[in-house]
Structure 1
Amino acid sequence: MTDAYVAIEGERVIEARARSPGTTRGELVFTTAYTGYEESLTDPSYEEQLLTFSYPLIGNYGVREERFESDRVHPRGVVARELTADVAEWLQDEGVPAVDHLDTREIVTEIRDEGAMKAGIAAGPDATKEDALAELDKCKHMSEHEDIGSQVSVQDTAVHNADGDGPDVALIDCGAKGSIISSLVERDAVVHQLPYDASIDAVAAIDPDVLFISNGPGDPENFEQTGEIIDEFVGEVPLAGICLGQQVVANTLGGRTEKMEFGHRGVNQPVRDLRTDKVVMTTQNHGYTVADPGDTLEVTQRNVNDKTPEGLDSDELDIITRQYHPEANPGPHDSLSFFDEVVEMAED
């Protein structure tokens, strides 16, 4: 049954089956993870994107809220070979269009060959190819979403583990996964979750032991307010960052970021530590990377496959950032020790 259409750049239209009705648009990307669909779908880093699952059956173990990384589904649309009824019903409740019964192998191959691309989806009994093409025509490039931080960040400061005996962490929320907060709280840190555009006075009032820049969606160059916070406190307060956080730190300290062809999204990305020569498997979800770290930051870890920077450090300024997601969820726990390093850096 064909009652859905996916239109991609070049105006090619793919027929599909509607599992959650509606029209939508976004950057078409894929993840190679074969578990963790709940975590992926609630990851704020997928804001303004259409998420394609390369694994053919999504929904094998149902839907459980305790696995969610935020309070809602963030991809604008979902593409899969087959979605179970549980996942389809969840996406319907969330109002997120979803389609299946199409060749996701072909889509993934096309993204790998051509790069992430704009796309539009039309799904439901009245959907037409023209509807999908109209969504494609209205789709923006990720760099054009200049205020994407406002879509994923908290509006007001929230405090987690207020009675903790560990360091005070000022977490700048650019779209933070819940597991980042949990990983810090498990180490008894007091986490002050602030908006991505928090004022310098708001951060200073916390008198933090460490400034932590979270993951998030979009182009790091569009997080200028976060960069102003970094610029104010670097050298005075230890600094940590994950994913988008690493990119914003690099841009602020004289480095340069760039758009990747199709990004890293999955749970099996190998990363080599240049100091120990040890390789760990990591969870990743990003479409931008640090092209040039500048003179302040040292590249301490690289991706085994494409040599992109995965870790940036500065012993002099007490900075430690990672491009991957040490908190995993989903994914391997090889790099959880990152949070121990952050807490130790704050305490020292």
Structure 2
Amino acid sequence: MNPAYVALESGHVIEGRGRAPGTARGELVFTTAYTGYEESLTDPSYEEQVLTFSYPLIGNYGVREERFESDRVHPRAVLARELTDEVADWLASEGVPAVDHLDTREVVTDVREGGAMKCGVAVGANATPDDAVAELERCEAMSDHTEIGAQVSVDDPVVRGAGNDGPEVALVDCGAKGSIVDSLLAREATVHVLPHDAAPGDVAAVDPDLLFVSNGPGDPANYEAAIDLVREFVADTPVAGICLGQQIVAEALGGTTEKMTFGHRGVNQPVLDLDSGQVVMTTQNHGYTVADPGDHLEVTQVNVNDDTPEGLDGIEYDVITRQYHPEANPGPEDTLDFFDDVLAMSSADAPRAVVADD
């Protein structure tokens, strides 16, 4: 096997076993998920990141394309305690460097104590620690990836489910997981997938019953076009959002967002509904959160571990957002009724809120 090195912003350089060759750089993060490595590796929210799996064996049930959330692997590199040959070969075919035989407990501890950090990876027959350090030195902070939406979004509008009997949904694709679209299609919606930088005229041409802002990677403040769309349509059109979508909606309606120390990434994040008192388990993958929802949104759900907002509802607008992934894939399906609630809000018979002038 080839030598492999991972240089961390903390100053550590870790040696491992090279499983897929190449050099890479990105923000080092970890997921605690026991299963769902195929879904995680194809989740666009991992764009420009180096993903560490805390579970020790990755690949024990193979690689099946029908589980993919997009058409490619998105992390810039992958770290694990042990990768099976099938996963390592898949990553090599995608040109994604992979390293195993690492003490991933040490990596996770570094991230928990120092926060998500820049890192560089070098794998190959002639790889050296200096190669990894050189990648680290070229690594940008996540907030500096101002055009990251273009890396994960459709270039042109795409219609899914044409002819379905349900609502017309304008989905702003900031890196949408395929399971979000599938969840809407399963409820007979017609989904108009629009680029992350769609103009108001693009949405108006759809004449949607619902504006839906997807998950995606990076700093929500960099999605200026999507923020403007929410501001433009929220008075007349119901709005929903998942993950990054919640943060974009909050930014659009006068709230603020902030970067978390190491984020939430896994399939067992407990969420408390403040109205019912019920706790549900959720799948999450995000490094930013809503710091203040502002005056137009109220927090309806919170994370049990750190009280960060997990659900927002509009006060005078028709808005429902969730920080977690109700569609799971992988993970628990405790919150699939979110899509029923959203599409019910978009029904032509649903009451519209009276919007106060600012």
In the superposition, the TM-score normalised over structure 2's length comes to: 0.96
Residues 1:208 and 2:208 aligned together: yes
Q: Please tell me the residue identity of whatever aligns with 1:69.
A: E
- For residues 98-137 of structure 1, the aligned pairs below 5 Å read 98-137=98-137
SS of 2:276 mapped into structure 1:
coil
Q: Please tell me the residue identity of whatever aligns with 1:200.
A: P
Hey, what does 1:307 align to over in structure 2?
307
Deviation at 1:85, TM superposition (A): 0.4
Deviation at 1:199, TM superposition (A): 1.2
Q: Percent identity?
A: 71
* Contact 1:300 1:311 survives alignment (8 Å): yes
Deviation at 1:315, TM superposition (A): 4.9
SS of 1:3 mapped into structure 2:
strand
- For residues 1-348 of structure 1, the aligned pairs below 5 Å read 3-347=3-347, 348=350
* Contact 1:25 1:136 survives alignment (8 Å): yes
Alpha-carbon separation, structure 1, partners of 2:30 and 2:283: 14
Q: Please tell me the residue identity of whatever aligns with 1:326.
A: P
SS of 2:346 mapped into structure 1:
helix
Alpha-carbon separation, structure 2, partners of 1:96 and 1:71: 14
Q: Deviations over 1:80-100 (max 9, x none)?
A: 000000000000100000000
Alpha-carbon separation, structure 2, partners of 1:2 and 1:41: 22
SS of 1:107 mapped into structure 2:
helix
Deviation at 1:10, TM superposition (A): 3.3
Q: Deviations over 1:161-212 (max 9, x none)?
A: 1010000000000000000000000000000000010111110011000000
Deviation at 1:62, TM superposition (A): 0.3
* Contact 1:2 1:15 survives alignment (8 Å): no
5+ residue gaps, structure 2, are: 351-358
Alpha-carbon separation, structure 2, partners of 1:335 and 1:90: 32
Alpha-carbon separation, structure 2, partners of 1:54 and 1:268: 13
Deviation at 1:314, TM superposition (A): 1.1
Alpha-carbon separation, structure 2, partners of 1:337 and 1:243: 16
Alpha-carbon separation, structure 1, partners of 2:110 and 2:197: 37
Deviation at 1:2, TM superposition (A): 6.5
Question: Judging changes above 3 Å, is the alpha-carbon distance between structure 1 residues 244 and 223 closer, same or farther for their aligned structure 2 residues?
Answer: same
Deviation at 1:316, TM superposition (A): 2.7
Moved over 3 A (4+): none
Q: Please tell me the residue identity of whatever aligns with 2:184.
A: L
Deviation at 1:109, TM superposition (A): 1.0
